[in-house]
Amino acid sequence: MKYVAVVLCILFPVLVSGQTEKAGRLDFDGAYYGNNLWNPGLKFGAEYIWKEKIREKEKKKRTKIKTNQFILGGDIGFFWDPRDYTALFTYYGLIYRHTNTKGFRYNFALSPAGYFRSFLPETYEVEGSEVDKVVLPGRSYYAPVLTLGLGRLRRNREKKLKAWFLDLDVMFLVPYNAAMVPLLNVAYGYRFNL
């Protein structure tokens, strides 16, 4: 059952893109991802704009436009801790994003469907007098994520490269020993459409 859930999580962005490509409401992103400069990684994602509300207000000099969006998003990525392990992760959830007239964006995301897998370096198991190498050592975790972010749209919004963003993610690894452990990560990247 666990493998079916992982396969569905990985295929989610592909399924969403097949349903919405004609509407042009699917964006992709790529980012540096890590908890500091010593644990580098990459993250890739897809976002489907589920609901959008645009408010326009006439002012003396210009029209103010504010956009509120509810977005279904999914990310997949990895990072490397040179002393301990390499990690693969994926998570999916709901994003609320507010964009103002000047193109500044603020977002909050709750991603309850998350999976984290750590891979340890060369590991051995001792049973009696026998020493055997462990195949794919590491652990799997349920990993929900909370995200706070900001960014800005490009002035020329017709280009494929749409916006930059800076996100602060808190990933909770459950069960970690007897409880949980939060991982604080930073993502800096760009959103684009194909």
Among 188, 184, 191, 105, residue whose Cα is nearest residue 145 = 184
Q: Is the pLDDT score of 67 beyond 60?
A: yes
Confidence at residue 21, expressed as pLDDT on a 0 to 100 scale: 31
Burial of 103 (0-12, 13-18, 19+ CB in 10 A): middle
Q: Say which DSSP state 136 is in.
A: S
Rounded to whole angstroms, what are the CA distances from 116 to 61, 88, 140, 171?
A: 50, 6, 6, 9
Q: Is the pLDDT score of 99 beyond 80?
A: yes
Q: Is the pLDDT score of 32 beyond 50?
A: yes
Q: Is the pLDDT score of 179 beyond 50?
A: yes
For 114-173, what is each residue's pLDDT tens digit?
999 999 988 888 988 899 888 889 899 999 999 999 999 876 656 677 899 999 999 999
Look up the domain containing 142 and give its range.
2-192
Domain count, the chain: 1
Confidence at residue 157, expressed as pLDDT on a 0 to 100 scale: 57
d(C-alpha 166, C-alpha 105), whole Å: 10
The pLDDT of 43-61, averaged and rounded, is 90
d(C-alpha 4, C-alpha 79), whole Å: 23
Confidence at residue 19, expressed as pLDDT on a 0 to 100 scale: 38
Q: Which residue has the higher pLDDT, 2 or 150?
A: 150
The CATH number of the domain holding residue 111 is 2.40.160.20
Give the global pTM.
0.79
Coil, helix or strand at residue 155? coil
How far the first Cα of the chain sits from its last, in Å, is 34
